Chains A and B, each alone.
Chain A
Amino acid sequence: MSDAWPWLLLAGLGAFHGLNPAMGWLFAVALGLHRGSMAAVLWALPPLAIGHLLSIGIVAGLAVATGALVDGRWIYAGAGLLLIGWAAWIQFYGHRHRVRIGMTAGFGGLLLWSFLMATAHGAGLMILPALMPLCLAASPVQALGGTQSPMIALAAVLVHTGAMLAVTAAIAIAVYRWIGLGILRSAWLNFDWIWSAALAATGVVLLTNL
């Protein structure tokens, strides 16, 4: 069972992203309400998922590529520092986004928005702690640079995004069809605080386990 935890962690992080109104389901519901159709809610889901997938895919790809060149410990140290820095950035400057995409967004706009939101949240950085042990287990000698690593990284990104998409879809459909947006007033917890704390804590764990 110990082999399963990184995959569960990847899926769990995906579900957490799916849960956060600022990562997509709320946009899908809004577009459904504007265009007056459940179809608009459903059509918003693929670009939201693809944008998210690209964001974490790029980070995972960079990690694997870097892993081919340097020792795994450096990757852990770098990821740890980045996570802590990102948490601090979100805490102090996270509210200062340039808004580029509005309510008339189409497929490309939603994809770009989802990519930017996931990137700004450091979503890709957060999957590194789960991804690295998987790659290490697959080819312990070469660590992240192993020949298996790209395939494992791809699987990791897909598992994460799959979980994110499933939760996003479930909530978007439920809120659009049955629950209604009044729920926002009480249930929209400060995910940014939880997320920043998780980023920073993960960063500290990575650094202390070097």
Chain B
Amino acid sequence: MASWKPDPTFYPSPRMAMKAPAETVAYVAAFDPARQTPDAIAVVDVDPASATYGTIIEQVAMPNAGDELHHFGWNACSSCLCPNAPHPHTERRYLVVPGLRSSRIHIIDTKHDPRKPQIVKVIEPAEVAEKAGYTRPHTVHCGPEGIYVAALGNAEGKAPGGIFLMDHETFDIRGQWEIERGPQQLAYDAWWHLGHDTMVTSEWGTPDMFEEGLVPEILLGAKYGRRLHFWDLHTRKHQQTIDFGDKQQLVFELRPAHNPTKAYGFVNCVLSLENLSSSIWTWFRDGDQWAVKKIIEIPAEPADPDKLPPMLKGFGAVPPLVTDIDLSMDDKFLYISCWGTGDLLQYDVSDPFDPKLTGKVRIGGIVSRATHPGAKNGALNGGPQMVEISRDGRRVYFTNSLYGVIDEQFYPEGIDGWMVKLDVNPEGGIAFDEKFFVEWPKSHRPHQVRLEGGDCSSDSYCYP
């Protein structure tokens, strides 16, 4: 588990990580929405020189059915080079793959053959609940004290959700991360500013609020998550809450600047109860407090009610449903997935308070059903969802499923899975790679993508 020299995929700074070699495989979490067959981690060939480019070359099936694989992450990454908590000789080798519904955690070894990874350990749900005090593990991040897992429910599946730690070499569950929780009850995503010793967490809801789908009464009552929480990363104490207000619902994906000297980041708010818009907010250091500012509002698009799912007919509009965002390694481009309208947007956020739209593609969408040059049969459903950027910023990958039961609320006929790739102009601008359209096997739907050697939402850095 250790070596003489640092793992070659660890880079001291995001600047250096941008010079990393291009990925040759992508790992994609895929689940069976019927919960009849095992979910899988699919290996997708992303090496343009390969004969199997743009196809699934391997599927690692889970030992059980019904896990609902969703997000996952690496056991170790570039934060192992941090001066205060160095673990430079640990290997980035294992994928930590939780089942969001089952609370089972799978450890997958990618070392011996990155194209044929293998499950080496399974931690059963009862052990997770007992040792962590949490269930419904969601976000997985490698960091200064090992593996951080943000979970949405406590051991009983109720509030509070929170973070637990796992050993990054033995995968023992070490227990609850928070020492002083303060007012935080709901959980969703978690990430940090290593240069400012600050943890940031966001909110969705407890398992009873989403496991049967979004509940309209909870949503319209603004009872889903709408806050950011700021914590001291090392004393693990809650420091500050920022409430986005009773018109904003679902404050989700946290993308802090990769440059550790910068004290700002971006978060998406999925839905405004006033006008169905989605919005992007910048959080930033303001004196000795954190503050937020809305920097982008993406409006809903008027639509023929006949073409809308029951949930939206009364509104006569398609909400953009921005459900994922991702920030390039140089903190220059923010990618925004509009799962409702089908847009994938690229903004130049070099000035985090003055974003400029620099690129746009459309694929799928509740009403538009836009196609792709590589798709065989026209109208595509689902829309841009989990998005991942290569370390050099030249390639962007995304898939189209959000979460089993919620997929059906917005795409009532179900979702036919696909994964696509964009080529990026470093000066701004994005375009589909016409040769890359992965038509997903009908039994499963794809969700998060992780790239070989790391990507733009895996690693964090201690040096600018």
Contact = CB atoms under 8 A, between A and B. Distances in A.
Interface of A: 21-22, 26-27, 29-30, 33-34, 95-105, 113, 181-182, 184-186, 188-190, 192-193
Contacts of B462: 30, 103
Contacts of A192: 2, 89
**A29, A34, A185, A186 interface centre (most CB from chain B within 10 Å):** A185
10 contacts: A22-B86, A27-B84, A29-B83, A33-B261, A99-B85, A102-B234, A103-B195, A185-B16, A188-B6, A189-B4
Given A101-B84, A105-B84, A184 B6 contact: yes
Contacts of A104: 195-197
Interface in B194-214: 194-197
Interface string B75-112: 00000011111111110000000000000000000000
A21 to B, nearest CB: 7
A96 B167 contact: yes
Interface string B1-42: 011111010111100100000000000000000000000000
Nearest to B8: A185
A103 B3 contact: no
Interface string B134-165: 00000000001110000000000000000000
Given A104-B196, A190-B89, 16 more contacts: A29-B83, A33-B464, A34-B261, A95-B169, A96-B167, A99-B234, A100-B234, A101-B234, A102-B144, A181-B12, A184-B12, A185-B5, A185-B12, A188-B81, A190-B2, A193-B2
A102 B464 CA distance: 15
Contacts of A105: 84
B284 to A, nearest CB: 17
Contact of A103 (B87, B89, B197): B197
Contacts, number: 91
B4 A193 contact: yes
Nearest to B167: A96
Contacts of B440: none
A97 B84 CA distance: 10
B195 A190 contact: no
Nearest to A98: B145
A97 B12 CA distance: 21
Please provide the 3 A-B residue pairs with the shortest distance between their CB atoms, ordered closest to farther: A102-B197, A27-B83, A26-B83
B260 interface: yes
A30 B144 CA distance: 15
A99 B145 contact: yes
Contacts of A33: 261, 463-464
A120 B4 CA distance: 20
A36 to B, nearest CB: 8
Nearest to A20: B86
B233 interface: yes
Nearest to A113: B84
B257 to A, nearest CB: 13
B4 A185 contact: no
Given A101-B234, A102-B234, A184 B2 contact: no
Contacts of A182: 12, 16
Contacts of B6: 184-185, 188
A191 to B, nearest CB: 9
A113 B86 CA distance: 12
A102 B233 contact: yes
B375 to A, nearest CB: 41
Contacts of A98: 145
**B4, B83, B169 interface centre (most CB from chain A within 10 Å):** B83
Given A185-B6, A188-B6, A103 B88 contact: no
A102 B194 contact: yes
Nearest to B90: A95
Contacts of B84: 27, 99, 101-103, 105, 113
A30 B81 CA distance: 11
B199 to A, nearest CB: 11
Given A33-B464, A99-B234, A102-B234, A185 B11 contact: yes
B439 to A, nearest CB: 39
B145 A190 contact: no
Interface in B237-278: 260-261
Interface in B409-464: 462-464
Contacts of A100: 234
B409 to A, nearest CB: 41
Contacts of A184: 6, 12, 81, 88
Contacts of A101: 84, 234
Contact of A185 (B10, B233, B261, B464): B10
Interface string B51-90: 0000000000000000000000000000001111111111
Nearest to B6: A188
Contacts of A189: 4-5
B194 A95 contact: no
A202 B145 CA distance: 31
A197 B13 CA distance: 31
Contacts of B146: 96
Nearest to A31: B83
A113 B5 CA distance: 24
A195 to B, nearest CB: 12
Given A101-B234, A105-B84, A34 B12 contact: no
A113 B85 CA distance: 10
A100 B232 CA distance: 10
Contacts of B16: 181-182, 185
Contacts of A27: 83-84
Interface string B209-244: 000000000000000000000000110000000000
Contact of A99 (B3, B12, B144): B144
Interface in B330-354: none
Nearest to B2: A190
